[in-house]
Amino acid sequence: MNLTPLFTQIFGAIWYLTPFAILAMILKTPWFKGVMGEFIVNLTAKLFLDKQKYHLIKNVTLPTEDGTTQIDHIIVSKYGVFVVETKNMKGWIFGNAHQKTWTQKIYKHSSKFQNPLHQNYKHVKTLESLLELNDQQMHSVVVFVGDSTFKTDMPENVTYGGGYIRYIKSKTQRVLTDVQVTEITKKITAGRLTPSFKTNREHVKHIKTIVAEKEKTDVQTCPACQSPMMMRETKKGQNIGNKFWGCSKFSKM
């Protein structure tokens, strides 16, 4: 029996579906979620903020003393400079302004992530230094997009979706002159690194280095001998199966 036509048909179907499978994988990546989040914020700003009053600068990478910092969006206006951090996340979000980490809960799974207000603080301070402005002329804004819900009261500058537009428009006190707005826009454009794949790759490398160093400092050590601690499991007794932190030099149980 000649099975060639059958195999040809099967492989033809697989080949036809391959692009869709690749696309589905891309749609689930953090990179794509980040791009979509920034696109939504950009589009909302262009639709609902007067271009004559608010000047949007997106994807700004600035040099710092220890590497680079990357800002999703900067909106310059006579009401101040708005530094916008975008988070594309799903699930329930718990946190407050003073916590070091916030919690994301999806069904029964919980995970920690850096307080985005703290994350945006470096962006704000870098711009303050570059532009020679004070904290009354700077505004930190965090925007969550995606299928997420706040389960705790958030500060007014932490918003969901288009809520950041309302926050920006709520600032009605003039703190910059028209000349300053023009100069600030030019200064950011001149001071930023040229947007490119290389710039982004080097920034990501810098972030990975920071994370790796932080993980080193976060390693728990034995209070008796200062050796690294490791996760162990009780092998006997009524607590069998329970996990605990123990000294890595202690003999295996």
Q: Is the pTM of this model over 0.85?
A: no
Does residue 14 fall inside a structural domain? no
Give the integer Cα–Cα distance in Å for 174 and 21.
Answer: 51
Is residue 93 one of the residues assigned to a domain? yes
Overall number of domains in the chain: 2
State how far the Cα of 80 lies from the Cα of 97, in Å rounded to an integer: 21
Residues 145 and 203 in one domain: yes
Is residue 56 situated within a structural domain? yes
Residue 204 covered by a domain: yes
145 shares a domain with 50:
yes
Statement to judge: residues 205 and 243 lie in one domain: no
Phi-psi category of residue 59: left, alpha or beta, with phi > 0 → left and psi -120 to 50 → alpha: left
Across the chain, which has 253 residues, the per-10-residue mean pLDDT values are: 56 55 50 63 89 92 82 95 93 93 92 93 91 94 92 94 93 96 93 59 42 48 59 63 62 48
Kindly calculate the radius of gyration of the chain based on its CA atoms and give it in whole angstroms.
24
Q: Is residue 17 part of a domain?
A: no
Q: Within this chain, do residues 146 and 245 fall inside the same structural domain, yes or no?
A: no
> What's the CA gap between 248 and 222, in Å, rounded?
8
Distances (CA, A) of 100 to 118, 129, 143, 148, 178: 7, 24, 18, 20, 37
Residues 238 and 154 in one domain: no
Same domain, 39 and 151: yes
Q: Same domain, yes or no, for 210 and 246?
A: no
Same domain, yes or no: 109 and 188: yes
- Same domain? For 128 and 226 the reply is no
Q: Which domain holds residue 250?
A: 220-253
What was the pLDDT predicted at 17? 52
Both 41 and 166 in one domain: the answer is yes
Tell me, yes or no, whether 200 and 231 share the same domain. Answer: no
Domain contains 209: yes
Residues 153 and 111 in one domain: yes
pLDDT of residue 246: 67
